[in-house]
A and B are shown apart, each in its own frame.
Chain A
Amino acid sequence: MAELSFNLLHTLDPRRDAYGFALRPQHVQRYKEYAKIYKEEEGERSDKWKEFFERLVISDQPCSSDEEYKETLRVEATECKIETVLESEESDDSGGKKSISDGSKERDLEKEVHRSKETKTHEVQTWAQIRPSLGAIEIMMSSRILMSKDMIDEQKTISGDHLPSIEEAKSPGGASEEEFDGDVYVNATSDDNANATGTVTAEVDEVSPKNLFPLKEEVEFLVRGGVPKDLRGEVWQAFVGVKTRRVERYYQNLLAQEANDGEHKDHEDSSGVPKKWKRQIEKDIPRTFPGHPALDDNGRNSLRRLLLAYAQHNPSVGYCQAMNFFAGLLLLLMPEENAFWTLVGIIDDYFGGYYTEEMIESQVDQLVFEELMRERFPKLVNHLDYLGVQVAWISGPWFLSIFVNMLPWESVFRVWDVLLFEGNRVMLFRTALALMELYGPALVTTKDAGDAITLLQSLAGSTFDSSQLVLTACMGFLAVTEARLQELRTKHRPAVLVVVEERSKRGRVWKDSKGLASKLYSFKHDPVSLIEEKKSAEGGDNLELLNSLSVDSELGSLPDLQEQVVWLKVELCRLLEEKRAAVLRAEELETALMEMVKQDNRRELSARVELLEQELAELKQALADKREQETAMLQVLMRVEQEQRVTEDARISAEQDAAAQRYAVHVLQERYEKALASVAEMEKRVVIAESMLEATLQYESGQSKAHASPRSTRNQDTSTRKTGLLSFGLGWRDRNKGKPTDVKESNLSHSPNEGMDPSSSEKETKNEQKET
């Protein structure tokens, strides 16, 4: 009902986009530009899909034996058709199914409006079957669900979480379906595949395996191009496998249960939706796409019922903010119960563990995404690291909201098209990576953390080119596959679990079995054996009846609590055992590893020692060489020193020589002076001698006068002569005093004579005197 009112109202407000969502003021202009492109794309896309359906119809027709199917195919040829199943508790006898086979949308709308009134009064839910032309896709997809369910069954069924309650509810549901002439296919999943009903086996056989592969390829191609607006709701249901997931009356029962709880509010331990979730849901309903034309009172009531029912259905998740947006989005595209099953598919399956109390898987995905980022955009991540921005700050909200409110709506829808088709979270990663690829170049120019985050937020918010985004995501990151992601998740999960463990230890203590169950749920990736559950499932009609009864009265929790407790205990023991075994094995491995490491180390060490030894030898050699050189140098130095010493000695001796010579000169001088002195002495003596001689001569003349006159005259002469000579002599001496040097020279030259024989000099003087 919401869907149709929304289709009518959407284009009225210029500040809202074609889907009725509010546009940010800064985006109105850009949206207008892109609205034309969207329209063109939409036209191309509906042509493509139409053509695809036509081909499908032709190829399917010969195989189809189902009368109703053929009939609806005819209807399909006209235009969009919605087959509505109206169910109410009071109208069991009506057959529960009403097929509207005329092609006019308007009449559909009328009926819808009419029915929504009914809904109010009788608390009736609407369930619409999707158009049969999507049957092939639906079957293709539901075979995926069947397969994955087989696996999930093995893992989960008995772990006390939500899935078994569906499984068990299905059996009685299937039974009642026949009464209601409901959807036969649903039976297929209700029992184990062992006794799948013939219809489905037949149906699946028709399409698979030979037809399935090319079909899938083709659908994938179409989906990447976008799903036409009018088909989207149904196509999404086909992708999620709503028909296969659906259990008749399950949704109604959840609502009835919830209504009962509401009536008996005084019940202390009501098994219904815990108060905190109810309160949160109430808080969030008006804050979900506020102002959206389809979310009027009716829309909000649908939203409330949907969220409460889901909380009831899966207590390990309950209600988590973000689901309000998903539920609201789905309600815009499909009837309430369809939306419920689609939501179940998304939250339980595609995003298992994401929105649970501890949000483990969402934290794991952030670590995985960061690793992919580092691998793909090392430069960008370096820059973000430098700015102090953690990738998860931005990508966390992207992932948790599946881009709702983060991208323009056209892009959100396009991403969801692919994501729901693929049935896992690969598209989440690819889209986030594509955004980083598109905006990374702008991001690396930012200068601080705030600018970077603001820029990325606003760029992402204006990613109007949805085709570019989806194409980049799907084509640019082919290496990001589910297998790769699982591998990385396994790698990063322990780190998250450790933190969560710590948190829950210090925070709250889980006392109730619900906590335990949710813990177990979080370990759903561990293989858990099915055997026990199978036993209990086959335990007989009684048990099944019991199960179904308690499911009716106590939806969401397992029927037999005691049994559950026992089972949980067993399971716990087994897990503990496994843990112990794992610990032991880990220890073993660790020791082995240590051993290996040691060996490895030893080898490495010896190699290193060798190397070092070599190096050492080389160094020694070098050292020796150096020493040799040094000694040589020393020798040279010493020689030089010696030589220096020798020259020094020579110099000293030369100096000594010089001194000696000077000394000799000095001595000679002295001698010379002595000689001079002695000469002076001699002269004195000469004088004395002369005076003595004179005296003697005077005496002699005195004597001769007395004896002989001749002689005395002659003697007189001589005496005068002698006096003259004496006076001459004295005079000479006086003259000499005036010229001492001359005297010296003459003295020197005469001295030997003087010294040797004074008498001869006397004789000379005598001779001189004679001569004169």
Chain B
Amino acid sequence: MGCSSSLPDRSSGQLAGLNSENGGVSDAKNLRVKLVLLGDSGVGKSCIVLRFVRGQFDPTSKVTVGASFLSQTIALQDSTTVKFEIWDTAGQERYAALAPLYYRGAAVAVVVYDITSPESFAKAQYWVKELQKHGNPDIVMALVGNKADLNEKREVPVQDGIDYAEKNGMFFIETSAKTADNINQLFEEIAKRLPRPASS
């Protein structure tokens, strides 16, 4: 989807016009990217976004109902800019019914788990499968182990994350929204991995 201009009608079951718009590329120098955050409730999806967009961290952030939206533009070293249109979804299981609304047509999916919670890791795997089945086939996926600052409470080994990500062709990183560790790196790495529109 990132390169919807060169691959117009790839994604199945939706309007092509919609696609080219929200997969979003304006031109080779200024990319527009729809990104969706998925993952179990309470793993810190909203915190990652807030840290990335506003540079803030609130240990008692609000429950996300439905989904919330924020956007942030970053500049890369090769002087291209990438505008992330970020959909932060609700984590509770039943809200998965509404998730397709948000991940459909997304160019990037960031699947987040909590390194202190094996259940959230299992849930992340569920999301990866769901995306592989029903997401955009060209979607760039990142697996993120959040709460890396709680290393002493870690229950998901780094290697598990790396292995799973490698097996599924994903980019992997451990972050901490609390300490801001790797948050910007996460988005920069994603930006680098985006399929670029053919330079005209």
Residues of A within 8 A of B (CB): 276, 280, 283-284, 286-291, 320-322, 324-325, 355-359, 362-363, 385-390, 392-394, 396-401, 404-405, 448-451, 453-454, 457, 500, 503
- In contact, A457 and B22 (Cβ under 8 angstroms): no
- In contact, A397 and B65 (Cβ under 8 angstroms): yes
Is B197 an interface residue, CB under 8 A from the partner?
Answer: no
Question: Can you name the residue of chain A whose Cβ is closest to the Cβ of B62?
Answer: A287
- Residues on the B chain within 8 Å of A290, using CB: 58, 60-62
- In contact, A390 and B66 (Cβ under 8 angstroms): no
Q: For the complex, give the distance between the alpha carbons of A614 and B69 in Å.
A: 61
Is B85 an interface residue, CB under 8 A from the partner?
Answer: yes
Question: Can you name the residue of chain A whose Cβ is closest to the Cβ of B61?
Answer: A287
20 interchain pairs (CB within 8 A)?
A284-B41, A284-B63, A289-B62, A290-B62, A320-B92, A321-B90, A321-B92, A358-B94, A386-B21, A388-B24, A390-B18, A397-B65, A400-B65, A405-B62, A448-B24, A448-B32, A448-B83, A450-B32, A450-B85, A451-B71
- In contact, B21 and A388 (Cβ under 8 angstroms): yes
Is B51 an interface residue, CB under 8 A from the partner?
Answer: no
Question: Which of B17, B63, B85 is packed against the most chain A CB atoms within 10 Å?
Answer: B63
How far, in Å, is B104 (CB) from chain A's closest CB?
9
Question: Can you name the residue of chain A whose Cβ is closest to the Cβ of B97?
Answer: A359
- In contact, B65 and A503 (Cβ under 8 angstroms): no
- In contact, A393 and B87 (Cβ under 8 angstroms): yes
- In contact, B83 and A280 (Cβ under 8 angstroms): no
Q: For the complex, give the distance between the alpha carbons of A494 and B18 in Å.
A: 24
- In contact, B95 and A321 (Cβ under 8 angstroms): yes
Is B98 an interface residue, CB under 8 A from the partner?
Answer: yes
- Residues on the B chain within 8 Å of A288, using CB: 62-63
- Residues on the A chain within 8 Å of B34, using CB: 449
- Among candidates A280, A322, A362, A453, residue contacting B41 with C-beta atoms closer than 8 Å: A280
**Contact A400 to B63, CB < 8 A, known contacts A280-B41, A358-B94, A503-B97:** no
Question: Which of A287, A322, A362 is packed against the most chain B CB atoms within 10 Å?
Answer: A287
- In contact, B60 and A286 (Cβ under 8 angstroms): yes
Is B101 an interface residue, CB under 8 A from the partner?
Answer: yes
- In contact, A449 and B85 (Cβ under 8 angstroms): yes
Q: For the complex, give the distance between the alpha carbons of A388 and B85 in Å.
A: 12
- Residues on the A chain within 8 Å of B26, using CB: 448
Q: For the complex, give the distance between the alpha carbons of A685 and B60 in Å.
A: 158
- Residues on the A chain within 8 Å of B63, using CB: 284, 287-288, 321-322, 324-325
The A/B interface has a contact count, at CB < 8 Å, of 115
- Residues on the B chain within 8 Å of A283, using CB: 41-42
- In contact, B65 and A401 (Cβ under 8 angstroms): yes
Is B168 an interface residue, CB under 8 A from the partner?
Answer: no
Q: Which 7 A-B pairs have the closest CB atoms?
A: A388-B21, A397-B66, A290-B60, A388-B22, A450-B85, A450-B71, A401-B65
**Contact A396 to B101, CB < 8 A, known contacts A280-B92, A321-B41, A359-B94:** yes
- Among candidates A284, A399, A450, residue contacting B83 with C-beta atoms closer than 8 Å: A450
**Contact A393 to B101, CB < 8 A, known contacts A287-B61, A449-B85:** yes
Question: Can you name the residue of chain A whose Cβ is closest to the Cβ of B91?
Answer: A321
How far, in Å, is A40 (CB) from chain B's closest CB?
31
- Residues on the B chain within 8 Å of A325, using CB: 63, 65
Question: Which of B19, B22, B34, B94 is packed against the most chain A CB atoms within 10 Å?
Answer: B94
Is B80 an interface residue, CB under 8 A from the partner?
Answer: no
- Residues on the B chain within 8 Å of A389, using CB: 22
- Residues on the A chain within 8 Å of B95, using CB: 321, 359
- Residues on the A chain within 8 Å of B83, using CB: 448, 450
Q: For the complex, give the distance between the alpha carbons of A363 and B101 in Å.
A: 10
- Residues on the A chain within 8 Å of B102, using CB: 393
Q: For the complex, give the distance between the alpha carbons of A400 and B18 in Å.
A: 24
Question: Can you name the residue of chain B whose Cβ is closest to the Cβ of A400?
Answer: B66
Question: Can you name the residue of chain A whose Cβ is closest to the Cβ of B66?
Answer: A397
Chain B's interface: helix, strand, loop or mixed, by majority?
Answer: mixed
**Which B27-74 residues have a C-beta within 8 angstroms of A?**
32, 34, 41-42, 58, 60-71
Q: For the complex, give the distance between the alpha carbons of A388 and B20 in Å.
A: 8
Q: For the complex, give the distance between the alpha carbons of A451 and B26 in Å.
A: 14
Q: For the complex, give the distance between the alpha carbons of A280 and B66 in Å.
A: 15
- Residues on the A chain within 8 Å of B135, using CB: none
- Residues on the A chain within 8 Å of B91, using CB: 321
- Residues on the A chain within 8 Å of B19, using CB: 388
Q: For the complex, give the distance between the alpha carbons of A320 and B93 in Å.
A: 9
- Residues on the A chain within 8 Å of B64, using CB: 321
Is B161 an interface residue, CB under 8 A from the partner?
Answer: no
**Which B91-121 residues have a C-beta within 8 angstroms of A?**
91-95, 97-98, 101-102, 105
How far, in Å, is B18 (CB) from chain A's closest CB?
5
Q: For the complex, give the distance between the alpha carbons of A399 and B65 in Å.
A: 10
- Residues on the A chain within 8 Å of B42, using CB: 283, 287
Q: For the complex, give the distance between the alpha carbons of A434 and B95 in Å.
A: 26
- Residues on the B chain within 8 Å of A404, using CB: 65
- In contact, B66 and A387 (Cβ under 8 angstroms): no
**Which B156-194 residues have a C-beta within 8 angstroms of A?**
none
- In contact, B69 and A453 (Cβ under 8 angstroms): yes
- In contact, A449 and B60 (Cβ under 8 angstroms): no
How far, in Å, is B135 (CB) from chain A's closest CB?
15
- Residues on the A chain within 8 Å of B24, using CB: 388, 448-449
- Residues on the A chain within 8 Å of B41, using CB: 280, 283-284, 321
How far, in Å, is A416 (CB) from chain B's closest CB?
15
**Contact A320 to B32, CB < 8 A, known contacts A325-B63, A388-B22:** no
Q: For the complex, give the distance between the alpha carbons of A503 and B69 in Å.
A: 25
- Residues on the A chain within 8 Å of B67, using CB: 393, 396-397
* A397-B66, A451-B71 given; 10 more Cβ-contact pairs under 8 Å: A286-B60, A288-B62, A320-B94, A322-B63, A358-B94, A359-B94, A362-B98, A363-B98, A400-B66, A449-B24
How far, in Å, is B16 (CB) from chain A's closest CB?
11
How far, in Å, is B126 (CB) from chain A's closest CB?
9
- In contact, A321 and B65 (Cβ under 8 angstroms): yes
- Residues on the A chain within 8 Å of B18, using CB: 385, 388, 390
**Which B1-23 residues have a C-beta within 8 angstroms of A?**
17-22
Q: For the complex, give the distance between the alpha carbons of A283 and B22 in Å.
A: 33
How far, in Å, is B35 (CB) from chain A's closest CB?
10
Question: Can you name the residue of chain B whose Cβ is closest to the Cβ of A322?
Answer: B65
- In contact, B66 and A401 (Cβ under 8 angstroms): yes
- In contact, B69 and A291 (Cβ under 8 angstroms): no
Q: For the complex, give the distance between the alpha carbons of A630 and B135 in Å.
A: 66
- Residues on the B chain within 8 Å of A401, using CB: 65-66
- Among candidates A289, A387, A399, residue contacting B21 with C-beta atoms closer than 8 Å: A387
Q: For the complex, give the distance between the alpha carbons of A392 and B91 in Å.
A: 18
How far, in Å, is B121 (CB) from chain A's closest CB?
16
- Residues on the B chain within 8 Å of A398, using CB: 66
How far, in Å, is A479 (CB) from chain B's closest CB?
26
Question: Can you name the residue of chain B whose Cβ is closest to the Cβ of A405?
Answer: B62
Q: For the complex, give the distance between the alpha carbons of A450 and B33 in Å.
A: 9
- Residues on the B chain within 8 Å of A451, using CB: 71
- In contact, B85 and A396 (Cβ under 8 angstroms): no
Question: Can you name the residue of chain B whose Cβ is closest to the Cβ of A496?
Answer: B97
- Residues on the B chain within 8 Å of A400, using CB: 65-66
How far, in Å, is A760 (CB) from chain B's closest CB?
117
- Residues on the A chain within 8 Å of B92, using CB: 280, 320-321
- Residues on the B chain within 8 Å of A500, using CB: 97
- Residues on the A chain within 8 Å of B66, using CB: 322, 396-401
- In contact, B98 and A396 (Cβ under 8 angstroms): yes
- Residues on the A chain within 8 Å of B98, using CB: 359, 362-363, 396
Question: Can you name the residue of chain B whose Cβ is closest to the Cβ of A401?
Answer: B65
Q: For the complex, give the distance between the alpha carbons of A286 and B66 in Å.
A: 19
Question: Can you name the residue of chain A whose Cβ is closest to the Cβ of B26?
Answer: A448
- Residues on the A chain within 8 Å of B70, using CB: 454
- Among candidates A358, A449, A453, residue contacting B97 with C-beta atoms closer than 8 Å: A358
Q: For the complex, give the distance between the alpha carbons of A357 and B98 in Å.
A: 11
Q: For the complex, give the distance between the alpha carbons of A321 and B40 in Å.
A: 13
Question: Can you name the residue of chain A whose Cβ is closest to the Cβ of B85?
Answer: A450
Question: Which of A396, A398, A457, A503 is packed against the most chain B CB atoms within 10 Å?
Answer: A396
Q: For the complex, give the distance between the alpha carbons of A357 and B92 in Å.
A: 10
Q: For the complex, give the distance between the alpha carbons of A401 and B71 in Å.
A: 22
